Amino acid sequence: MKDGMFRWARIAALVAVLAIVAAACGDDAEPADGGEATGGTTTEATGTTPAEPSEPLQVALIAPSATNDLAFTQSMFDALNLLADAENLEIAVSDNLFVVEDAATAIRTYASDGYDLVIAHGSQYGGSVEEIAAEFPEVSFAWGTAGDTFGLPNVYAYQAASDEGGYVQGVLAAGLTESKIIGVVGPIEVGDAQLYVDGFKAGVEATDPSVSVKVNYTGSFSDVALAAEAARSFVAADSDVMTGSAQMVVGAIGVASENDVAWFGTQSNQTSLAPEIVVASQVYHWEVVLQQIIDGIQAGALGGESYTIDLANGGEVIEYNDAFAVPEDVKTNADAAIEGLTSGSIETGVTLVS
């Protein structure tokens, strides 16, 4: 009995010694002199050091209206969110900053906080960007809709060839109107809003010169009441088709819906506001230019370039409302206009004058 117990004791001792030796040989990360380990953690399958997760690109968006305005601001907000995961974006938003001085404060604050990219989404913010970007040469700025980088190497500019989508929707509108009177609610004659209105008029003219297009610029991007008032004046003038630009158009769409007047949207898809009367929307896909800007920053270029979205590069898309029955011949004419504008065989004849 004692001999058996002795044998089991020797075996246990031998196992313990072997375990100690194995542990010492296997711990190659611990240096013999007791210093800190080097070389990092390795993966069991490949023995390679896993890549460190990259730091997110910090992006700030400053915008004049709400992120759910179904117009100008939402078009950019949606684009950023579309790229957020793939490009590892950390997004901060300051919206409803229609007062330029308030927007300038936000722009400066984000730049001071070290954001990688500060987007001033509004042509009215140009002066602020020009001033602040010069003070923060290590921060990238982007602003639109405009094409001017102010000659600064850390400013990107972006714009929309909205006259193209406007032209297509003008073709559609000319084919739908029975009263031969169309109303257009414009904000201020500047930027993509002006291009859209002028392109829309050109599309109507090219399709049916007998149609009268009445334009009312309210002088505001955000005054919903003024937009509604303009729309009511068009209803009184027997307009049976309307369109308009900027975040204020929710007022005009409400009036159009009440009076069964067909509506064409721009910037964002506005079907949800009045699915019974919205025919189609020119939708901005700013992710097309945002991708170029982000690629530039990651390559070390903080700015100095201007980009444009249009029908050809997919930055502008005509999205039809499936609930609105567009006659086949009218849609065929619109599709032909898209093809012509994309190939260059059709030109809107519109140039931005301010």
Digit-coded pLDDT (tens) for 7-58:
333 333 333 433 333 333 344 433 333 333 333 333 333 444 444 557 999 9
Note the pLDDT of residue 351: 84
Give the integer Cα–Cα distance in Å for 310 and 351.
Answer: 14
Per-residue pLDDT at 291: 98
CB 97, CB 221: distance < 8 Å: no
pLDDT < 70 stretches in the chain: 1-53, 352-354
Express the helix, strand and coil content of the chain in percent, nearest 5 each: 40, 20, 40
What pLDDT score does 15 carry?
36
Note the pLDDT of residue 130: 98
pTM for the model stands at 0.83
Closest CA to 160 of 121, 113, 119: 121
Q: What is the rounded distance in angstroms from the CA atom of residue 145 to the CA atom of residue 123? A: 5
Of the candidates 102, 100, 109, 97, the one whose C-alpha atom is nearest the C-alpha of residue 136 is 109
The pLDDT value recorded for residue 54 is 79
